[in-house]
């Protein structure tokens, strides 16, 4: 199968192009129009076999996850998905693998009305790089540098089950087959919090998606906003499988695990009911887990206000 036939077979648009994409796959570039009063939000994420996923990973789930991690970045900006490109390096053409991968990817793309508009395909070690394009009204993006002292800190959904599933694969934790399977859904099938991100426009100040662990990702907000924070470790929403483990492990994986793809955001305390209404509208649970303060640094305290030692380091691809 030639490169052209492969693209034609697996990666052509499934729906007719929306009006804002006058030209999709097949030319040197795609053409896309932005609506009046909107800014484009653009992000790329690369997934490398052996680093971000096991080389024998289920291709349908991999197709889902490759797009989901990118959509999660749009969610964290309060941007609405519009289109994406796919750059793919494949060691060989395996029709079953390509069919399942593209189905997993397109299923999620269609849910979010996000159109595949181009890409690149080459032979090489398995590597998947997606770039997403979203839209946000000018000036309304939820930026990392916009937190303010006194803001509440919130997180969506639940934390740590994806890290627990990884620990199961790596034999770091013993889990029952049923528990491992359920936790593994969080690792392989993250749900990008797009609806919540959109509902938080005009309510939240700063936001980030939790991909590398809460401490590290909240740290990016603090650094960019030049502020500090206190986090309540006994208020963290542990994933339901993780919650059955001991407290130390729950805290470690919720604070420093990776792959949660939840939103961590800050909002003024006067907006608490608006935050809860936005979460309800988005059908997503949110939990208040601390507050932003002027004093630099991150303090983590338990329910008795006792400090927790900060030995947890955010997962960093260059240090491990
Ligand atoms: P060029 O030589 O100009 O880079 P290509 O032959 O690589 O063009 O690609 C031809 C067309 O197919 C382009 O429109 C490109 O965006 C699209 N394309 C290539 N690979 C993919 C892919 N994996 N998914 C979607 N579109 C792709
Ligand atoms: Mg090319």
* Window from 48-57, 164-173, 201-210, 260-269 with minimum mean pLDDT: 48-57
pLDDT at res. 312: 47
Backbone phi and psi for residue 232, each to the nearest 5 degrees, phi listed first: -95, 105
The pLDDT of residue 311 is above 70: no
What is the average pLDDT value for the chain, to the nearest integer?
94
Write out pLDDT tens, residues 87-112: 999 999 999 999 999 999 999 999 99
Q: How confident is the model at residue 238 (pLDDT cuts 50, 70, 90)?
A: very high
How do residues 113-134 score in pLDDT, each as one tens digit?
A: 999 999 999 999 999 999 999 9
Q: What are phi and psi of 240, to 5 degrees?
A: -60, -30
Q: Based on the number of CB atoms within 10 Å of its own CB, is 309 exposed (0-12), middle (13-18) or buried (19 or more)?
A: exposed
Q: Confirm or reject: Cβ of 121 under 6 Å from ligand 1.
A: yes
pLDDT tens digit string along 254-266?
Answer: 999 999 999 999 9
Distance 10 CA to ligand 2 centre (A): 16
- Pocket probe for ligand 1: among 27, 121, 123, 126, the residue whose CB has the most ligand atoms within 8 Å is 121
Sheet bearing 286-293, strands edge to edge: 206-210, 262-267, 152-156, 286-293, 228-232, 297-301
Residue 315 confidence (pLDDT) above 70 = no
CB 160 within 8 A of CB 242: yes
**By the 8 A CB rule, do 218 and 224 touch?**
no
Which residues, chain by chain, have CB under 5 Å from ion ligand 2?
120
Buried b or exposed e, range 30-59, using 16+ CB within 10 angstroms: bebeeeeebbebebebebebeebbeeebbb
Q: Is the pLDDT of residue 53 over 80?
A: yes
- Say what the pLDDT of residue 47 is: 96
Residue 61 CA to ligand 2 centre (angstroms): 25
Q: Does 28 carry a binding-site annotation?
A: yes
Per-residue b or e along 201-216, where b marks 16 or more CB atoms closer than 10 Å to that residue's CB: bebbbbbbbbbbbbbb
Options 3.30.1330.10, 3.30.110.30, 3.30.465.10, 3.10.440.10; which CATH number does 3-137 get? 3.30.1330.10
**Domain residue ranges of the chain, discontinuous segments joined by +:** 3-137, 144-301
The Cα 291–Cα 52 span in angstroms is 32
The pLDDT of 62-78, averaged and rounded, is 98
Distance 86 CA to ligand 2 centre (A): 11
Which protein residue has the closest C-alpha to ligand 1 atom 26? 118
Tens digits of residue pLDDT in 269-285: 999 999 999 999 999 99
Q: Establish whether 152 is an annotated binding residue.
A: no
pLDDT bucket at 18, cuts 50 / 70 / 90: confident
User: Is the confidence at residue 209, as pLDDT, over 80?
Assistant: yes
According to the model, what pLDDT value does residue 34 have? 87
* Neighbour order of strands in the sheet with 80-90: 38-48, 127-137, 80-90, 115-123
User: What class, spelled out in words, does domain 144-301 have in CATH?
Assistant: alpha beta
259 annotated ligand binder: yes
Is pLDDT at 318 greater than 50 in this prediction? no
Q: Per-residue pLDDT tens for 212-234? A: 999 999 999 999 999 999 999 99
- Annotated binding residue at 211? yes
Among 6, 25, 131, which residue has the most ligand 1 atoms within 8 Å of its CB, making it the best to mutate? 25
CA of 120 to the centre of ligand 2 (A): 5
pLDDT value, residue 145? 98
**HSE toward the beta carbon, residue 293, CA cutoff 13 A:** 11
CA of 104 to the centre of ligand 1 (A): 20
């Amino acid at each position: 199968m030639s490169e052209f036939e492969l693209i034609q077979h697996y990666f052509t648009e499934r729906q007719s192009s929306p009006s804002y994409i006058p030209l999709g796959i097949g030319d040197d570039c795609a053409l896309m129009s932005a609506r009046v009063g909107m800014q484009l939000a653009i992000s790329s994420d690369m997934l490398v076999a052996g680093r971000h996923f096991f080389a024998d990973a289920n291709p349908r789930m991999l197709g889902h996850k490759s797009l989901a991690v990118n959509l999660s970045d749009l969610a964290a900006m309060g941007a609405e998905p519009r289109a994406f490109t796919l750059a793919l390096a494949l060691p060989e053409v395996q029709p079953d693998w390509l069919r399942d991968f593209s189905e997993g990817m397109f299923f999620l793309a269609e849910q979010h009305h996000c159109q595949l508009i181009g890409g690149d395909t080459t032979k090489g070690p398995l590597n998947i790089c997606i770039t997403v394009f979203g839209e946000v009204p000018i000036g309304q993006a939820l930026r990392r540098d916009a937190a303010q002292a006194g803001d509440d800190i919130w997180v969506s959904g639940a934390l740590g089950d994806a890290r627990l599933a990884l620990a199961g694969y790596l034999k770091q934790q013993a889990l029952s087959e049923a528990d491992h399977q359920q936790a593994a859904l969080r690792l392989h099938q993250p749900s990008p919090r797009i609806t919540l991100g959109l509902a938080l426009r005009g309510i939240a100040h700063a936001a980030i998606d939790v991909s590398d662990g809460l401490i590290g990702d909240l740290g990016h907000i603090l650094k960019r906003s030049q502020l500090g924070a206190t986090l309540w470790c006994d208020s963290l929403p542990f994933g339901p499988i993780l919650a059955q483990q001991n407290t130390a492990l729950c805290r470690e994986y919720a604070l420093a695990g990776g792959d949660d793809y939840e939103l961590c955001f800050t909002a003024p305390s006067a907006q608490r009911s608006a935050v809860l209404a936005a979460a309800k509208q988005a059908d997503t649970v949110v939990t208040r887990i601390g507050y932003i303060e002027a004093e630099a640094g991150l303090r983590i305290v338990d329910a008795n206000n006792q400090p927790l030692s900060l030995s947890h380091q955010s997962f960093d691809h260059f240090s491990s």
